[in-house]
């Protein structure tokens, strides 16, 4: 088969066409919008009709120099001189659901999915999910076989699909396949153009992200300077921090946000999420109180935040405590892309299915990971975000560098919600990282380096303030420590950060 540009792969479905919309008109408009490959899928027509549809489709595709693929029918493909044949999930002889077999059989590309639930095809296998695609992509390392994500992909989940569907070896998708998003649209040219623009924007953004993550640009001095800059931006601009958090700690988290100079809004109702996404500088999602109404709000809030490229800080509180929490977290992380995942050793171990650290409710038991540096680096690569491992020593990684932070005080472990407040502090710094980006809307608002510094800044702000609070004469124990901690967050100075930060950067 000839070389394919799989970026925007259209699978046709005439049954989805809007009333009075001609199929060939829709196809030509989609080609004008930027479709790079067309697959003709006709399951319920006789050979003569299929041939006529394929021939006229081939003529249109030739006009725009776009390859035509025929679904299942080798005879039709040969008759119209199509570029290739697609063999689907129940067809033979190329079972593309098995990547290893596809490699052995000499496939030119594989379709991986279904990534999302879809109504356009009866699925014989369970949904893979965005985070499951990366493991399958890694099997293609060292081959020339291209990969296309399929199943339920549309404009609202496209960026999540592209960003999350990357292996730990940085093997990314070559394209995405769509059906209803284009075929069911009364304006297929605009629908295709919108999808193509999102794909192009992601690739541009990802090239910048890769350039930043592969070079060891971080030093302790560079990080501290960046943290101070972000703290100043928080206080100058007072960004709005949307927080869906544990009911037990709403007041503490809101007060910590205010003390840093940001503005909190603690809202969980699903109906508010779209409006709040338009004005928030960052979003914190903390599953401490995982009631149905809050969960629905979390799903929508994260989706809208991704659409606006607003950073999301995710705190999977007590994720290992129940199967309900584990399945809920899986659904959340497959639905939207987190910018930062923050948790203690037990929570992050449960997130990856490791038995290395035991949990008791929301707390960790034992000494923690044997190699925390490698753990956070590997998890950051897997989840395609910054990961924060909290504890006596804190670890922050963007998948390349790891910051080892040794600030803090034992009293933090004796008050309710210190971890939740850490999430609020990180979210405040993340909003500042967005605020310092350029005004060009085509440029990425956020790159991993900014989030890495923001996560470090949030942790340092809380842990250094804790040290300062613990030294005060009016602090006698946990009851007096909490209000003193809020005081010290509000008094935290750039010089204090520079003088007291205990920070080591470990680069790969």
Whether 488 is covered by a domain: the verdict is no
Contact predicate 45/14, CB 8 Å: no
Q: Among 212, 227, 251, which residue terminates a domain?
A: 212
Domain of 459, CATH number, reads 3.40.1190.20
Predicted confidence at residue 439, as pLDDT, reads 39
pLDDT on residue 407: 98
For residue 345, is pLDDT > 60?
Answer: yes
**At residue 438, does pLDDT exceed 60?**
no
**443 or 7: which carries more pLDDT confidence?**
7
Q: Are residues 189 and 238 in the same domain?
A: no
State pLDDT tens for residues 242-252: 999 999 999 99
Residue 295 lies in a domain: yes
The pLDDT mean for the chain works out to 88
How open is the CA angle 140-143-149, to the nearest 5 degrees?
40
Strand, coil or helix: what is 253?
helix
Looking at the fold, whether 179 and 303 belong to one and the same domain comes out as: no
Residues linked to residue 315 through DSSP beta bridges, in sequence order = 286
- Comparing 258-262, 358-362, 478-482, the range with the smallest average pLDDT is 358-362
83 within a domain of the structure (yes/no): yes
Mean pLDDT for the stretch of residues 460-465: 98
Q: Which pLDDT value is given to residue 217?
A: 59
Answer whether 407's CB lies under 8 Å from 501's CB: yes
Of 293 and 394, the one with more pLDDT: 394
- Higher pLDDT among residues 209 and 117, named by residue: 117
Which tokens hold the place of 119? 């109504």
Say how many C-beta atoms besides its own lie within 10 A of residue 87's C-beta.
Answer: 19
Residue 503 forms part of a structural domain: no
Lowest model confidence (mean pLDDT) among 116-130, 138-152, 230-244:
116-130
**DSSP letters of 297-350?**
HHHHHHHHHHHTT--EEEE-TTGGG-HHHHHHHHHHHHHS--SEEEEEHHHHHH
Strands 401-405 and 503-507: antiparallel
Q: Are strands 394-397 and 401-405 parallel, antiparallel or unpaired?
A: antiparallel
Examine residue 81 and state whether it is found in any structural domain, yes or no: yes
Same domain, yes or no, for 30 and 148? yes
What is the distance of C-alpha 61 from the center of its chain? 34
Q: CA-CA distance, 105 to 274, in Å (whole number)?
A: 47
| pLDDT (average), residues 147-161 | 89
Active-site residue 420, yes or no? yes
**pLDDT number for residue 452:** 93
Residue 31 sits in a domain of what CATH number?
Answer: 3.20.20.70
Which has more pLDDT, 434 or 336? 336
Neighbours of 258 (CB within 10 A): 18
Distance of alpha carbon 326 from alpha carbon 380, whole angstroms: 19
| Among 88-102, 178-192, 476-490, the least confident range | 88-102
204 with 248, same domain: the answer is no
Report the pLDDT value the prediction gives residue 365, as an integer from 0 to 100. Answer: 62
Instruction: Tell whether omega for the bond before 114 is within 30 degrees of 0, i.e. cis.
Output: yes
Which range has the worst mean pLDDT, 19-33, 116-130, 164-178, 261-275?
116-130
Same domain assignment for residues 201 and 257 = no
Number of domains in the chain: 2
Residue among 420, 425, 430, 496 flagged as catalytic: 420
Half-sphere exposure of 193 (CA within 13 A, CB side): 8
Beta carbons of 369 and 375 less than 8 angstroms apart: yes
Tokens representing residue 178 in the block: 């769509």
Do 239 and 382 belong together in one domain?
A: yes
Of 6, 25, 300, 61, nearest in space to 185 by CA: 25
Q: Is the pLDDT of residue 184 over 90?
A: yes
**pLDDT of the residue at 170:** 78
Decide if 260 contacts 234 (C-beta within 8 A): yes
The SS3 of residue 386 is strand
Res. 445: pLDDT tops 60? no
Q: Render pLDDT for 198-231 as a digit per residue (tens, 0 to 9).
A: 898 888 766 545 544 444 457 899 999 999 999 9
Checking if the pLDDT of 130 tops 80, the result is yes
Percentage of the chain modeled with pLDDT above 90: 66
Structure letter (DSSP) for residue 16 = G
Domain-located, residue 44: yes
Q: What confidence category does residue 169 fall into, taking pLDDT thresholds of 50, 70 and 90? A: confident
Q: Are residues 338 and 417 part of one domain?
A: yes
In a domain, 475, yes or no: no
Give mean pLDDT, residues 121-145: 79
Within a domain: 321:
yes
Same domain, 415 and 446: yes
Query: What pLDDT digit, counting tens, does each position of 74-107 carry?
Result: 999 999 999 999 876 554 333 344 777 778 878 8
505 near 223, Cβ under 8 Å? yes
In which domain, by residue range, is 310 found? Answer: 219-464
According to DSSP, the residues that pair with 244 across neighbouring strands are 285
CA angle 497, 498, 500 (to 5 degrees): 65
């Amino acid at each position: 088969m000839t070389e394919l540009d799989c970026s925007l792969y259209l699978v046709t479905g005439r049954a989805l066409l809007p009333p009075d919309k001609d199929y060939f008109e829709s196809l030509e408009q989609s080609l004008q919008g930027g479709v790079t490959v067309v697959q003709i899928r006709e399951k319920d027509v006789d050979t003569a009709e299929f041939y006529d549809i394929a021939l006229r489709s081939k003529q249109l595709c030739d006009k725009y120099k776009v390859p035509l693929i025929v679904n299942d029918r080798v005879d039709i493909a040969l008759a119209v001189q199509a570029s290739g044949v697609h063999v689907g999930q129940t067809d033979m002889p190329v079972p593309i659901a098995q990547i290893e077999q596809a490699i052995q059989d000499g496939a030119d590309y594989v379709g991986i999915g279904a990534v999302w639930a879809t109504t356009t095809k009866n699925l014989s296998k369970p949904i893979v999910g965005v985070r499951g695609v990366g493991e399958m992509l890694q099997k293609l390392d060292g081959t020339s076989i291209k990969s296309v994500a399929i199943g339920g992909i549309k404009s609202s989940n496209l960026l999540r699909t592209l960003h999350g569907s990357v292996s730990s070896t940085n093997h990314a998708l070559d394209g995405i396949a769509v059906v209803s998003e284009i075929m069911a649209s009364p304006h297929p040219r605009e629908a295709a153009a919108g999808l193509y623009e999102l794909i192009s924007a992601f690739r541009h953004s990802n090239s910048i992200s890769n350039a930043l993550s592969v070079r060891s640009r971080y030093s302790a001095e560079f990080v501290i300077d960046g943290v101070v800059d972000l703290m100043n931006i928080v206080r100058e601009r007072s960004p709005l921090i949307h927080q869906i958090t544990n009911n037990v700690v709403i007041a503490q988290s809101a007060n910590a946000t205010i003390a840093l100079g940001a503005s909190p809004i603690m809202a969980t109702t699903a109906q508010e999420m779209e409006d709040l996404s338009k004005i928030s500088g960052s979003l914190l999602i903390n599953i401490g109180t995982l009631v149905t109404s809050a969960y629905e709000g979390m799903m929508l809030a994260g989706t809208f935040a991704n659409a606006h490229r607003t950073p999301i800080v995710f705190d999977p509180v007590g994720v290992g405590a129940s199967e309900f929490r584990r399945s809920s977290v899986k659904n959340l992380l497959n639905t939207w892309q987190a910018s930062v995942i923050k948790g203690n050793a037990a929570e992050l171990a449960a997130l990856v299915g490791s038995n290395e650290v035991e949990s008791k409710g929301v707390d960790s038991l034992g000494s923690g990971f044997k190699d925390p540096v490698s753990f956070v680096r590997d998890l950051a690569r897997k989840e395609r975000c910054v990961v924060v491992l909290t504890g006596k020593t804190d670890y922050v990684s963007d998948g390349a560098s790891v910051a080892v932070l040794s600030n803090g005080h034992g009293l933090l472990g004796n008050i309710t919600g210190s971890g939740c407040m850490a999430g609020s502090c990180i979210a405040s710094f993340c909003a500042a990282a967005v605020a310092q980006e350029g005004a060009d809307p085509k440029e990425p608002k956020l790159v991993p380096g900014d989030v890495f510094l923001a996560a470090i800044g949030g942790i340092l702000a809380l842990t250094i303030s804790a040290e300062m609070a613990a030294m005060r004469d009016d602090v006698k124990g946990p009851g007096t420590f909490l209000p003193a901690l809020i005081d010290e967050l509000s008094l935290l100075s750039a010089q204090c950060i520079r003088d007291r930060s205990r920070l080591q950067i470990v680069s790969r």
